[in-house]
A and B are shown apart, each in its own frame.
Chain A
Amino acid sequence: MEFIKPNVNINFVGNRGKAFIISGLLILMTVVSLFIHGGPNYGIDFAGGILVQVRFTQPTDAADIKKALAPLGMDQSLVQGFGDKKNNEFLIRNERSGLKLQGLSDRVRTTLAKTYGQGKVEVRRVEMVGPKVGKDLREKALLAIFYAIVMIAVYISGRFEQKWGLAAVMAGVLVGATLLVQALLTAMGGDEGIAMVLLILTALVVTVGACWLLKLRYALGAIVALIHDVVITVGVFSLLDKEFTLATVAALLTIIGYSLNDTIIVYDRIRENLKKSGKQPLGETINASINQTLSRTILTSGTTLLVLVCLFILGGGVIEDFALALLVGVVVGTYSSIFVASPVLLLLPEGRPMVIRRSEPARAAAVRPEPVAAQAASTQVSAGKAAGAARQKRSKKSPRKGKRR
């Protein structure tokens, strides 16, 4: 059986403009949605508060439950049905910061038992998180996502461009700077939450910038794709008004690891094809590679999506959001490995001689067997600069034309 014929030839690279527009719109959707909702909808893991899952023996509704909880000052709680309606199961959530959490789970139990009668209420789950813990977890989560992206960037640069040292130095500097700024922020006090977000954003921008400057082509593509996937998944969650919990972060981290699988498969093929492609333009090689691996990209994501759909439908309410985040992430990740990660490789001007390249001219020539690159490697330093500048102009134009044949 074959879904995708071996000789398939879709012009992904040529249409990358459209893909970039779609991605841009999706990212814009994320920003707008986050803006409208006033930031991510933090669950109690991150916001602090209380979540109680209760099952009643007789039918009741949200309004009654709220009324019952009024003496605790919890009548503003969010009460929703949970799972099958005939189970009479409800989730009660309250993230109000003024709530006195000490002994609250206990008071909720006794208050509900008083209204509905002893033995008529079963408290199946209580989650209570203090505001301080919530804040700590929020920071840890952001840092974890950041570290995962940086470590993966190092791995990609090392494996695909043999620049282990360079990549490691870059990562070291970044992580060091992050820790330093974090320490400074803690020392200064103030609203660390917002500062933290800014810090991570800056760090990511710097990471992308560093990959650009150091010409870590593959790492750049991978990181851009990763950020793309995470941001859009966050956006979809925000749009659906789903809560961000520890499980959501776990899902995001998994997406960071998994969505790269497909990207790596394409990159590997690009590398392989570059070795034998000769004078073929990079864009064509990339497009051919995407097409050659299209079948496996779809299949691998397909089997994973298959099990995730099972988990989403059958797994029950506790795991539902986790499965949803993974589902969205895998879909976006597959899209990005085809339409984003590889075309991004073309964003860097081709063959521009970098300061670092000059120390290893032989390899530069071997990896990109293009006459210009070879020429650049053999020219004098000053002449090389001029030639590089001229070529930069040329190659800046060429990606916009799309196909370079």
Chain B
Amino acid sequence: MPKNFFLKSTLVAVVIILALLYLVPTIGDGKLPAWWVNTLPSDRIRLGLDLQGGMHLILEVETQKAVAASVERSSQELQRKMRDDNIRAIHPQAGKDNTISLVLLHNNDRAKLEDLVKRDYPDYAVTSSQTLEDGKIQMVLQLTAKAAKHIAEQASTQALETIRNRVDQFGVSEPEILPQSEGRILIQLPGVKDPQRAVALIGKTAQLEFKLVDDSVNPATVTKATLPPGDEILDMYRRDHASGRVDKEPIVVHRRVAMTGATITDARVQMDSQYNQPYVSVAFDSAGARQFADITTRNVKKRLAIILDGKVQSAPVIQEPITGGEARISGDFTMEEARDLAVVLRSGALPAPVKILEERTVGPSLGQDSIDRGLLSMLVGFCLVVGFILLYYRLAGLFANLALLLNLVIITGALAAFQATLTLPGIAGIILTIGMAVDANVLIFERVREELRMGKTPFAAVEAGYGKATLTILDANITTLIAALVLFQFGTGPIRGFAVTLSIGIASSLFTAITFTRLLFDLYLHQFRPRRLLI
């Protein structure tokens, strides 16, 4: 027997058995017996979004807006605190570059303000102060860069968490949500049926705010100039039920946020029996319930605007104090819109709006087309190569073809074993591997032919052929492997799938084309001791 024969044949046998074991779940109709599932591999090959259909999104969290919102909140809070500390100043206002500017009425309040900032706002620094002509002092506070960065990072983390919650409630199997560099978020939703709805659900900021309506102003006639300080004009949207048209009308509210949706613990869809309209009822936690009770108690008979992402949903009159810790958000929702609103309110608001940077959606029918066409070209390509190699190298060609078949089994088995994702370019990678795998055998066989021409015996020729060609084959394949690795690093999704199958294909073709065919040669030469080699 040739040297290392048993070792080699055992190795080959083990690899074949392993590859087949991993392949069975994919080939089978999905119904494996229980004993198989319990003891043997049962994962099928994972298909990429381009093959099974689905959606790929890259979002960018506009963290700058989260920082700006935080500055806005601080400026409103500062106003209250200055009042408590008897600092007399004209409305502090959040401005550009994370600044708050205000005008102090008296010079002697200045030290008090600086104390207040030092005590309660360590993240802010006084960047400029100048005395105006009338003795008032203009001061500018600015959020430090470090604090701004911290807020931005927090916003990214929180956005990721919130989106994860929402996707979980959307009901997609095996979603993938991964943070990327620069505050970006990658979302993959395989097999999603309704991409529009998914985008709407994921991308909704869902910033819920309650603000009191200023009924002393007529919203129809007010202009920017006549707007009382501390007020703002928002739009309220109404859908006309008869025509289906959406109208907007202006409404004046106090700028100060009476309450936010941060304390919401639950949100569900209810049906209004009177108007047969769905609405969303939200429940607050105990602190939130107290706050809501407080607002509604103090403002009975006034109107409270319910604002979602800057749009007024409704502005009902507070008939009586609401102490139960529940609020009702009615608007012109369809049932589905109400359901999605409940989902986003339950999962919490995004700390900042998100922007879609990249969207790729593949419908399931196209995915199936791609699979069919990919498999067809693989089959035809395989047959052509096998036919050609058999004609050209005869017996040796048969060995090479067996190796090629084994190569396919190993690649697919490895894909299942590593749970790598198979994409359409990935299938192309396998097809390319079919063409490339026989290269190694071509190199060996050409070398063997050369040695035979020099008058060597079949034994010696095979020995020399494999010995001399192996290093060349390794060299040639390593460069392709280098390129595949760079590609893996560079690519995402489908392209990465190509890099994966190409790499696996190269590795396994080295094994099948060199080790496996050599084993067949050894077996043949020892069994039949031929005088002439059919090559």
> Which A residues form the contact surface with B (CB < 8 A)?
1, 6, 53, 101-103, 105-106, 109, 122-130, 132-133, 140-141, 143-144, 147-148, 151-152, 155-156, 159, 246-247, 249-250, 253-254, 256-258, 260-262, 264-265, 268, 292, 295-296, 299-300, 302-308, 310-311, 313-316, 318-319, 322-323, 326
Contact = CB atoms under 8 A, between A and B. Distances in A.
7 contacts: A122-B363, A148-B482, A254-B484, A260-B476, A264-B476, A303-B435, A322-B428
Nearest to B196: A106
A140 B489 CA distance: 10
A268 B435 contact: no
A307 B434 contact: yes
Contacts of B363: 122-125
B504 to A, nearest CB: 14
B425 interface: yes
Contact of A305 (B196, B435, B490): B435
B249 interface: no
B490 to A, nearest CB: 4
Contacts of A103: 199, 356
A159 B359 CA distance: 44
Nearest to B362: A125
Contacts of A133: 58, 357-358
A256 B483 CA distance: 7
A258 B436 contact: yes
Nearest to B447: A296
A315 B479 contact: no
A106 B487 contact: no
A256 B486 CA distance: 11
Interface string B414-450: 0000000000110010011011101100110010011
A125 B366 contact: yes
B40 interface: no
A306 B363 CA distance: 31
- 3 tightest CB-CB pairs across the interface, nearest first? A257-B483, A257-B480, A304-B435
Given A299-B446, A315-B374, 20 more contacts: A1-B392, A6-B450, A124-B362, A124-B366, A125-B363, A127-B361, A129-B358, A143-B490, A151-B482, A156-B479, A254-B432, A254-B480, A268-B471, A296-B446, A304-B439, A306-B381, A306-B388, A307-B384, A318-B370, A319-B370
B362 to A, nearest CB: 5
Q: Which of B199, B380, B389 has the most CB of A within 10 A?
A: B380
A265 B377 contact: no
Contacts of B359: 105, 126-128
B508 interface: no
Given A122-B363, A316-B373, A311 B472 contact: no
Main secondary structure of the interface of A (DSSP, over half): helix
A336 B381 CA distance: 25
B17 interface: no
Nearest to B384: A306
A152 B482 contact: yes
B360 A295 contact: no
Interface in B456-515: 471-472, 475-484, 486-487, 489-491, 494-495, 498-499, 502
Nearest to A260: B479
A262 B431 CA distance: 19
B365 interface: yes
Interface residues of B, number: 71
A250 B453 CA distance: 41
Nearest to B484: A257
A336 to B, nearest CB: 14
Given A126-B195, A300-B439, A307 B381 contact: yes
A126 B360 contact: yes
Contacts of A295: 446
Contacts of B471: 268
B491 A246 contact: yes
B425 A250 contact: yes
Interface of B: 50, 58, 195-196, 199, 355-363, 365-366, 369-370, 373-374, 376-378, 380-382, 384-385, 388-389, 391-393, 424-425, 428, 431-432, 434-436, 438-439, 442-443, 446, 449-450, 453, 471-472, 475-484, 486-487, 489-491, 494-495, 498-499, 502
A313 B384 CA distance: 14
A31 B119 CA distance: 66
Contacts of B391: 1
A306 B435 contact: yes
A71 B153 CA distance: 39
A319 B425 CA distance: 7
Contacts of A306: 381, 384-385, 388, 435
Given A123-B363, A125-B362, A147 B486 contact: yes
A341 to B, nearest CB: 12
A175 to B, nearest CB: 12
Contacts of B356: 101-103, 128, 130
Contacts of A159: 475
A253 B432 contact: no
Given A128-B360, A147-B486, A152-B482, A323 B491 contact: no
Contacts of A128: 356, 358-360
B490 A144 contact: yes
Given A133-B357, A264-B476, A319-B428, A254 B487 contact: yes
A140 B488 CA distance: 12
Contacts of A105: 195, 199, 359, 361
Q: Which of B199, B435, B442, B481 has the most CB of A within 10 A?
A: B435
A151 B393 CA distance: 36
B10 to A, nearest CB: 30
Nearest to A127: B360
A250 B374 contact: no
Nearest to B197: A106
Contacts of A305: 435
Contacts of A130: 355-358
A314 B362 CA distance: 20
Contacts of A141: 490
Given A106-B196, A254-B487, A316 B369 contact: yes
Contact of B443 (A247, A300, A304): A300
Contact of B472 (A101, A106, A264, A308): A264
